């Protein structure tokens, strides 16, 4: 029996050096020993599953350690082997991966009654340590799905649902299109058997006829490209079933109304040839306006790159065409795994760097992800809150907002533990109580009977629970006189930073502050600061604001507040902590005059002439553009022109030449003219203006303007 597996293992070992081969063999031996008498539901020996998972990883081009961990991925869960044994027989890295995968399986997904999004967040936690954990997990799930027919129906449905909602979006996020399509189609068949077979039958029915048609189109395109000396490979392919089904739902169509069940893919050698090809294709086949997408200039967030267009064949049936380079194709199919192959070869180019930095960005759960709504829609889940997951020494998971500290952790367990906290052991190392919690930390609080909270602690903690408890302690344990003095000191210190003191501020302004904050006298304000109920920074800022208003009226500038540069915009330094976003209603572009509206979710940045700006009653916030911007911004152009061929091509070419990228396009016929609406991405308003001026001079253009 062992002979059977040997050929499999030999296949897996191909192209690895001797050391790596040994590692894979060793992993296989452990797996075989460990799973010796275990069988899968199919009746096959359990080891077959381990081998298949390893094969999938091999096909993805993963490194030997990942493959070894793939062979061992169920060993901790299902056998008597311990992680320590794995570590001593392989190495630390393999053991880490095995542990990571086991962790995801055992502790996260098997927890009952948990929301999918919660599970997913925890999955990201495990992944944040090493992304290969997820690649192994996906390979594991893929093989389990391939053999799912051996489970009972209820279990199949449950697993398919989880796959469709977690693993498929996850593989999409990592650009692993091939795995994603397979996971989706198997889940689709289980969850929607009727719809699946409906599509299957339709494809069967149309196959012969369509294949001829696609073949004819392929040949026509190939001839044209070759005539122009563009070397390429052209494939016709059936779209994957679940994507067809989604299209039916998205466009509210019945299957008979969906024509493009087949698609064409063109692989060529250079980016220049991709663009040249699309020009040539549009010359010989009529493109459908609005369907051209340039994902080369504007890669998708998972780094997918391609040109997309839809053309009409001779019978007027739409056919989708994708054009990309070989490298783009590998990335489109295998996503992050494709990069792993590159990484092994230690060939980092700038593009790969940006890919990895994107992953880092995801892993750090950065806040701008929360703002990218499309991004989230694409995933169909609201992930990536700024949450940190840490553990108690007993392995209990605790959730915190980013920036929370050891003190927050201590207070979350018990208020007394917080009050007495002097630091912690984090992952076995001593840290101060100011230490900021990191994903995956295991935290053991250290306390001392002599310890107690001070006012400064309020600046260290982030959670409401900790803040409330510290204030409570200060109020019950400090005497009022002392606290008044402390409060006065703090406020004066703060004002000093602005060359101010309470003495220099006129009484009526101080009176105004007392009224605004509901204090009878100044000492009450100091006491409140001293008890940590109100921050001296807030009071100082408000005083400064009042002063500034007064000075503005007097046209005297004494205090110039610092401006703060945040990404592409500049805001008042007092507002530097607040999240900002660009309003969708008016899509500001660098160069537009802008203003901010303070909302519950942060500063919403609008164009000054936006109708929503005129509507609000709250004071507007000063914002301006940074001199150098680094992002692209969305805008929209409307064009009315005589209906002539080649117009769209001309516009696309001119746009690309002028650093304006067309994201999507819509057209309609209006009184014999053609009306086009382009969604574009640009760096500055000048870029739009330049393009508008150029397009205006094209013959046949009757009107062009920026809509938003």
Compute the least distance from the CB of residue 397 to Mn ion, in Å: 23
Tell me the C-alpha distance between 667 and 679, whole Å: 12
- How is residue 505 written in tokens? 């501020």
Tell me the C-alpha distance between 333 and 343, whole Å: 17
Compute the least distance from the CB of residue 43 to Mn ion, in Å: 17
Catalytic residue among 63, 78, 85, 444: 78
Compute the least distance from the CB of residue 49 to Mn ion, in Å: 6
Q: Which is nearer to Mn ion, 56 or 544 (CB)?
A: 56
Interacting stretch for Mn ion, rule CB under 5 A, among 134-142, 305-313, 425-433, 511-519?
Answer: 134-142
Looking only at residues 138 through 177 of this chain, which bind Mn ion when binding is defined by CB under 5 A? 140
The gap between the terminal CA atoms of the chain, to the nearest Å, is 69
**Among 320, 316, 300, 325, CA closest to 308:** 320
Whether residue 77 lies in the annotated active site: yes
3-state secondary structure of 496: helix
3-state secondary structure of 73: coil
Catalytic residue among 17, 44, 77, 257: 77
Q: Which is nearer to Mn ion, 98 or 296 (CB)?
A: 98
Tell me the C-alpha distance between 699 and 89, whole Å: 74
Residues binding Mn ion: number (CB under 5 A): 2
Q: Which is nearer to Mn ion, 140 or 419 (CB)?
A: 140
Q: Which is nearer to Mn ion, 101 or 176 (CB)?
A: 101
Burial of 229 (0-12, 13-18, 19+ CB in 10 A): exposed
Cα 25 to its chain centre, rounded Å, is 37
Q: How many other C-beta atoms lie within 10 A of the C-beta of residue 3?
A: 6
Compute the least distance from the CB of residue 205 to Mn ion, in Å: 38
Compute the least distance from the CB of residue 73 to Mn ion, in Å: 6
Q: Which residue is nearest to Mn ion (CB)?
A: 140
C-beta separation of 21 from 13 below 8 A: yes
Interacting stretch for Mn ion, rule CB under 5 A, among 67-75, 107-115, 375-383, 508-516?
Answer: 67-75
Tell me the C-alpha distance between 673 and 548, whole Å: 56
Helices within 531-670 (DSSP H only): 536-553, 611-615, 647-657
Compute the least distance from the CB of residue 437 to Mn ion, in Å: 32
Q: Which is nearer to Mn ion, 56 or 586 (CB)?
A: 56
Interacting stretch for Mn ion, rule CB under 5 A, among 66-74, 200-208, 463-471, 617-625?
Answer: 66-74
Tell me the C-alpha distance between 52 and 143, whole Å: 7
- Contact letters for Mn ion, residues 18-57 (x by CB under 5 A): ----------------------------------------
One-character DSSP codes across 396-428: -EEEEETT-BHHHHHHHH-HHHHHTEEEEEETT
CA atoms within 13 A on the CB side of 68: 27
Whether residue 489 lies in the annotated active site: no
Tell me the C-alpha distance between 266 and 314, whole Å: 19
C-beta separation of 337 from 170 below 8 A: no
Burial state string for 412-442 with b = 16 or more CB within 10 A and e = fewer than 16: beebeebbbbebbebeeeebebebbbebebe
Compute the least distance from the CB of residue 230 to Mn ion, in Å: 45
The pairing of strands 633-642 and 673-682 is antiparallel
Compute the least distance from the CB of residue 144 to Mn ion, in Å: 6
DSSP state of 520: S
Compute the least distance from the CB of residue 606 to Mn ion, in Å: 52
Q: Which is nearer to Mn ion, 130 or 533 (CB)?
A: 130
The pairing of strands 602-607 and 580-582 is parallel
Q: Which is nearer to Mn ion, 74 or 182 (CB)?
A: 74
Tell me the C-alpha distance between 339 and 356, whole Å: 9
Tell me the C-alpha distance between 573 and 398, whole Å: 33
- Say what the alpha-carbon torsion angle 582, 584, 589, 592 is, to the nearest 10 degrees: -90
334 binds Mn ion (CB under 5 A): no
Sign of the Cα torsion 644, 646, 649, 650 reads negative
Q: Which is nearer to Mn ion, 39 or 481 (CB)?
A: 39
- Contact letters for Mn ion, residues 69-108 (x by CB under 5 A): -----x----------------------------------
Tell me the C-alpha distance between 129 and 392, whole Å: 18
- How is residue 134 written in tokens? 């997820």
- Contact letters for Mn ion, residues 250-279 (x by CB under 5 A): ------------------------------
Q: Which helix (H) or strand (E) holds 350?
A: helix 350-363
Q: Which helix (H) or strand (E) holds 701?
A: strand 701-706
Cα 550 to its chain centre, rounded Å, is 45
Burial of 137 (0-12, 13-18, 19+ CB in 10 A): buried
Compute the least distance from the CB of residue 50 to Mn ion, in Å: 7
**Among 539, 548, 606, 601, CA closest to 572:** 548
Binding site residues, Mn ion, CB under 5 A = 74, 140
Give the active site residues. Answer: 77-78
């Amino acid at each position: 029996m062992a002979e059977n597996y040997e050929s499999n293992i030999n296949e897996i070992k191909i192209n690895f050096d001797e050391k790596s081969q040994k590692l894979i063999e060793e992993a296989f031996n452990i797996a075989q020993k460990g799973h010796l008498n275990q069988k899968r539901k199919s009746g096959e020996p359990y080891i077959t599953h381990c081998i298949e998972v390893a094969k999938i990883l091999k096909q993805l081009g993963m490194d030997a350690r990942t493959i070894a961990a793939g062979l061992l991925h169920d060993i901790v869960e299902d056998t008597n082997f311990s992680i320590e044994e794995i570590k001593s027989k392989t190495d630390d890295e393999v053991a880490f991966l095995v542990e990571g995968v086991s962790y995801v399986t055992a502790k996260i997904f098997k927890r009952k009654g948990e929301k999918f999004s919660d599970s997913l967040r925890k999955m990201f936690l495990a992944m944040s340590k090493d992304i290969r954990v997820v690649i192994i997990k996906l390979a594991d799930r893929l093989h389990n799905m391939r053999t799912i027919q051996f489970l009972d129906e209820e279990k199949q449905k449950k697993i398919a649902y989880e796959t469709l909602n977690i693993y498929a979006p996850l593989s999409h996020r990592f650009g692993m299109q091939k795995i994603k399509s397979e996971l989706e189609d198997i889940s689709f068949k289980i969850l929607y058997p009727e719809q699946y077979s409906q599509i299957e039958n339709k494809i069967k029915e149309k196959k012969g006829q369509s294949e001829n048609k696609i073949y004819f189109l392929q040949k026509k395109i190939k001839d044209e490209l070759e005539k122009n000396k563009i070397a390429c490979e052209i494939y016709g392919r059936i779209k994957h079933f679940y994507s067809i089904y989604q299209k039916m739902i998205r466009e509210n169509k019945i299957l008979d109304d969906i024509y493009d069940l087949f698609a064409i893919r063109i692989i060529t050698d250079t980016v220049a040839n991709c663009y040249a090809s699309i020009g040539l294709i549009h010359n010989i086949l009529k493109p459908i306006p609005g369907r051209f997408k340039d994902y080369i200039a504007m890669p998708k967030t998972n780094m997918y790159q391609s040109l997309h267009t839809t053309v009409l064949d001779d019978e007027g049936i739409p056919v989708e065409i994708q054009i990309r380079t070989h490298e783009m194709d590998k990335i489109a199919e295998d996503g992050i795994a494709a990069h792993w192959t590159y990484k092994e070869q230690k060939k980092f180019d700038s593009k790969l760097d940006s890919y990895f930095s994107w992953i880092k960005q995801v892993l750090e759960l950065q806040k701008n992800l929360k703002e990218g709504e499309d991004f989230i829609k694409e995933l169909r889940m609201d992930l990536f809150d700024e949450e940190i997951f840490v553990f108690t020494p007993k392995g209990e998971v605790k959730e915190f907002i980013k920036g929370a500290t050891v003190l927050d952790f201590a207070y979350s367990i018990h208020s007394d533990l917080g009050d007495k906290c002097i630091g912690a052991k984090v992952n076995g190392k001593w840290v101060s109580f100011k230490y900021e919690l990191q994903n995956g930390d295991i935290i053991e609080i250290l306390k001392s009977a002599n310890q107690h909270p001070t006012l400064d602690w309020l600046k260290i903690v982030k959670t409401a629970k900790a803040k409330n408890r510290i204030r409570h302690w200060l109020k019950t344990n400090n005497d009022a006189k002392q606290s008044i003095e402390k409060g006065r000191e703090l406020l004066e210190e703060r004002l000093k930073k602005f060359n101010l003191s309470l003495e220099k501020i006129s009484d009526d302004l101080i009176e105004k502050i007392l009224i605004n904050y509901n204090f009878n006298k100044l000492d009450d304000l100091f006491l409140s600061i001293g008890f940590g109920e109100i921050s001296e920074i807030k009071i100082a800022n408000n005083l400064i604001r009042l002063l500034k208003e007064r000075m503005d009226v007097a046209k005297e500038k004494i205090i110039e507040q610092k401006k703060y540069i945040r990404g592409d915009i500049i805001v008042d330094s007092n507002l530097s902590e607040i999240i900002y976003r660009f309003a969708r209603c008016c899509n500001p572009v660098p160069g537009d005059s802008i203003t901010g509206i303070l909302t519950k979710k942060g500063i919403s940045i609008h164009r000054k002439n936006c109708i929503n700006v005129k509507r609000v009653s709250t004071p507007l916030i000063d914002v301006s553009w940074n001199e150098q911007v680094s992002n692209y911004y969305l805008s929209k152009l409307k064009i009315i022109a005589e209906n002539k061929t080649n117009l769209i091509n001309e516009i696309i070419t001119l746009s690309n030449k002028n650093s304006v990228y067309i994201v999507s396009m819509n057209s309609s016929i209006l009184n014999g003219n053609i009306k086009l609406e382009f969604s574009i991405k640009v760096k500055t308003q000048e870029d739009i203006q330049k393009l508008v001026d150029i397009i205006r001079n094209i013959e046949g253009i009757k009107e062009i303007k920026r809509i938003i």
